[in-house]
Amino acid sequence: MARKNLTIGLFGFGCVGFGLYEVLHKTPGLKTTIKNICVKHPEKARPIAAANFTFDKNTILSDPEINVVVELIDDSEVAFEIVSEALKNGKAVVSANKKMIAEHFQELLDLQREYQVPLLYEAACCASIPIIRNLEEYYDTDLLQSIEGIVNGSTNYILTKTFAENLSYETALREAQENGYAESDPSLDTQGIDAKYKLLLLLAHAFGQIVKPQDIFNFGINKLRDLDLQFAKEKGLKIKLVAQAFKNENQSISCFVLPKFVKPGDKLFDIDDVFNGIITQNNFSDTQFFVGKGAGAFPTASAVLSDLSALTYDYRYEYKKLNQAEILTINNELVLKVFLSSRETKTQVLFTYFHKVEESYRSQETGYLVGYISLKKLQQLIQLVPDASVILIEAKPGLKDQNLVTKVELEPVYVSDSLIV
């Protein structure tokens, strides 16, 4: 099959946009031409000639010669307007905007079907790892049971620095911002929101389920305290921000984003710096593991490049799992074993939310519990205790409440100098 020529209209010329521009000029065999680049600020100095730029979106959207729009801007609502209009005008679209796609997934799916043009977004999830294409193609007939992974390079960089170099959370975050891995407002990354958007995309292609962002529980690393880090280091563990989804036996799916303790020998233990790692558990091919850089201009640009290459062969997502999938409901009764630290002094109040408490510690300043709690009750508890920090120890698909014998200590345990281990 002969490759078709792509005439590209590019929206956005930040780190990823410039990275794509450079990568395309190093791959002449791709048969692509960037005809115009739409940017927001006319006064900003740029590394290529001013003749390449326009400041009017219609210069690209109304140009009949442009058959592909690449969207790489920050504003998700403006991005949705651009992508929607491009699809309506019969132009294929490549986007790296996970927030925009996650918040408007059904609308974008309907537009693709109505106007018979593709929207590809490999760059929106895990940058250099071709996970969406693999879920679409390789796992078409292999039933997935779970998907788990580090999907946010910024938080992984921060957590790596806190463990490898003993930096404080604040120092590691500032370094991530200086290196361009985190935004000046890092909340999307550090609160687990970015990871939630990516998990939403993975759910559609892994399990054929379209969910809304508010249906996925997310808890980030922004509330980690010294006690949490000390606990991990004393146990020889690392903390990673992990997105997970499990298919349950009762036609339901459980999904969440949480910091997680990982131990030596776990597949995610050595995934450091800005790297991402995805683990799939499958009926036929068992466990498989994907690793690659998850942040940075060139890893993201490489994913955009891969989508452009696919478009030269008229590739589009068929959403095979959506078409063949059984209807699964979201189940928040999944039981988690967690480490929860807090300054909350009413320890017995915290205990009532747990099915079983295995360990507790309290000093005059802070304390923690280790125990089993349902995802639903965990969501309720963190609303009650705003300063709580939660770290996953283990998720237990299929573990029912009645399997747990309640063990509640009503009196807090006080230790002055060291942690209980």
CATH at 396: 3.30.70.240
Q: Taking CA 256 as the corner, what is the angle to CA 16 and CA 330, rounded to the nearest 5 degrees?
A: 120
Show which of 108, 124, 140 is a domain's final residue: 124
162-199 burial code (b ≥16 CB/10 A, e <16):
bbeeebebeebbebbbeeebbeeebebbbbbbbbbbbb
Residues 161 and 284 in one domain: yes
Give the range of the structural domain holding residue 74, as residue numbers without chain letter.
Answer: 6-124
**In the prediction, which pLDDT does 282 show?**
85
User: Do 102 and 12 share a structural domain?
Assistant: yes
In which band, very low, low, confident or very high, does the pLDDT at 120 lie, cut at 50, 70 and 90?
Answer: very high
Looking at the fold, whether 109 and 135 belong to one and the same domain comes out as no
Predicted TM-score (pTM) of this structure:
0.92
Instruction: Work out the pLDDT band at 183, boundaries 50, 70, 90.
Output: confident
User: Do the beta carbons of residue 342 and residue 366 sit within 8 Å?
Assistant: yes
- The residue with greater pLDDT, 351 or 90, is 90
70 and 210: one domain? no
Residue 360 lies inside a defined structural domain of this protein: yes
Q: What is the largest CA-CA distance in the chain?
A: 73
The answer to whether residues 235 and 347 belong to one domain is: no
- Closest-CA residue to 395 (of 246, 278, 213): 246
Mean pLDDT of all residues in 388-397: 90
Q: Are 131 and 278 in contact (CB under 8 A)?
A: yes
Q: How big is the chain by its Cα radius of gyration, in Å?
A: 23
Q: List the catalytic residues.
A: 198
Verify that 382 and 259 share a domain, yes or no. no
The predicted model gives 216-235 an average pLDDT of 94
Q: Examine residue 418 and state whether it is found in any structural domain, yes or no.
A: no
Q: Are residues 258 and 373 in the same domain?
A: no
Q: Give the number of domains in the chain.
A: 3
Alpha helices, DSSP H, located in 165-242: 169-178, 187-190, 193-207, 226-235
Q: Enter the DSSP assignment of 357.
A: E
